[in-house]
Amino acid sequence: MSLHVVILAAGQGKRMRSALPKVLHRIAGRPLLAHVIASARTLRPDRIYVVHGHGGAEVKAAFEGAPVEWVEQAQQLGTGHALMQALPRVPRSATVLVLNGDAPLVRPHMLRKLARVAGKGIGIATSDLSDPAGYGRVVRNAKGKVERVVEHRDATPEELKIREWYAGFLAGNASRLAGWLAKIANRNAQKEYYLTDVIGIAAASGTPVTAVKASDPHEVAGVNSREELAILERAFQNAQARKLLADGVALADLWRVDVRGDLSCGRDVAIDVNCVFEGSVRLGDRVRIGPNCVLKNVSIAADTEVLAFSLLEEAQVGANCRIGPYARLRPGARLARDVHIGNFVEVKASHIGVGSKANHLAYVGDAEVGSGVNIGAGTITCNYDGATKHRTIIEDGCFIGSDATLVAPVRIARGSYIGAGSTISKDTPPGQLTVARARQVSLPRWQPPRKK
C-alpha cells in the first residue's frame, strides 16, 4: 500500500498571542510539528507533505533538511482547502493520512490503525470529553454509524450535547478524497472549506466511516492556547515519568520531572523533584540526582551522586563522583572516577583526574588536572588573555592553596604545593612549596579616613 502523509501546519494560532507560528511552540523542548513528523515517519510513508501558511518561511527554516515536502497554502481558507493544495502531488491510488501539526502526543499505534481502516473507506480519529467545547462533534445514526461531523459553531443545541469529538486526523484514498473535496462549500459560520464536510459527503454516498477512538484525549488533542500547551506538556512529561518508573527508576514525584530529549537509566537510579533532562542523558547504575538539577547531553557513570541545584552540560562524569550542591559543569568537562566537585565550583573544557577534589568556590577552565589533586577554595585558572584561551596543567598529587590564581599557560609540576593567596604565572618545580605573594606590611601610624 502506498501511503502519503499530509500534515496541516498553516494555522496562525491567534489564541497563542505570540509572534511565533503555532507549530513552532515547544513540547518537551521540541516544536509541536517535530513531534508529529516523528510519529508520521514511524509509518515509513512514501512522502510526507507539510502544508504551511502563516509564518511559513520561519517554519521551513526551523526544519531545514527535514525529510518532508513543503506545500504552501497562500490563503488560509480552511482545512479542506489546505488538503486541496497537497493532493495534486499524491498518486491517485495512494492512501492519504491527514494529520494536524499542532497535535504532539499522537502515537504511531493510532496512525497505523487509521491507515489500515482507510482501505475500507475513511478512518477518522475521535475521543470522548466531558466538555468538548470548541471541537467538532461526531454525529452517529441510530445504528451507531458515523454520519457526519459538525463544527461547534454550526452545531444545534442537541448536537452540542454529544461528547464524542473529531480530532482532525483522517485517512482515505487520494482519488476519492479529491472527489469529495470538490463538493464541499464554505456555507458555515467561519466561511471556510472544512475537511470535516468530506466525512458527511462520504457517509452519504455509502462509504464506511470508521472512528478510531483514542482512550486518552491528550493523545489526539491539538494546541490552541498557552493553557492547552501547558496541559499537554504535563501530559507528555507524566507519560515519560511513568515509563521511567516502569523501567525501575525511583522518581520522587512523577509530576515533577521533565525529559526534553532521550534519558537512559541503569538499575536503581534515583531522581529527586524538579529535575530537567535535555538532549541525550545517560545515567549509570545507582546514580542519584538531587532536587532542582539540570542535565543536558551528559553521561554519568555508576554510583555518582549529583546534589541539589547543579547544572551539567555537555560533560562526562566517571564512577563514584560527588557533584554539588550548586556545581556547574560546562561543555568539555570530563571527570574521572572518585572526583569531588563541590558547591559553587565551575569546570569548563577541563579533564579532572582520578580522586581529585575542588570542594568549593573555584573555577577550573581549560585545564588538565591530574590524579589526587586538591584545589582549594577561591582558586581560579586564568585561562583567557582577552584574545586566546590557554591551558593550565596541574600534575598528579598537587595541593593548590586557597585563593590561588594560576595564570595560563602554566604547568604545576607533580607534587607541588602552592601557598594560599599566590599568583602563579611561571612553571613550578616538582615536590616543592611555591609562594608568590606580596610581603605583609603593617603601618602603625596609619589613620582611617573620616567623614567630613
Active-site residue list: 360
Separation CA 15–CA 21 (nearest Å): 11
Q: Can you tell me whether residue 53 is helix, strand or coil?
A: coil
188, 176, 37: which is closest to 106 by C-alpha? 37
Q: What is the DSSP letter of 441?
A: -
336, 363, 358, 359: which is closest to 348 by C-alpha? 363
**Dihedral of alpha carbons 168, 239, 223, 42, sign:** negative
Q: What is the dihedral of CA 214, 215, 217, 220, to 10 degrees?
A: -20
DSSP assignment string, 15-61? GG--SS-GGGSEETTEEHHHHHHHHHHTT--SEEEEEE-TTHHHHHH
CB 138 within 8 A of CB 223: no
Separation CA 42–CA 110 (nearest Å): 12
Task: Give the list of residues 6+ apart from residue 400 with CB closer than 8 angstroms, or none.
Answer: 373, 374, 375, 376, 379, 394, 406, 412, 418
Q: Can you tell me whether residue 69 is helix, strand or coil?
A: strand
Q: Residue 310, Cα to own-chain centre: how many angstroms?
A: 19
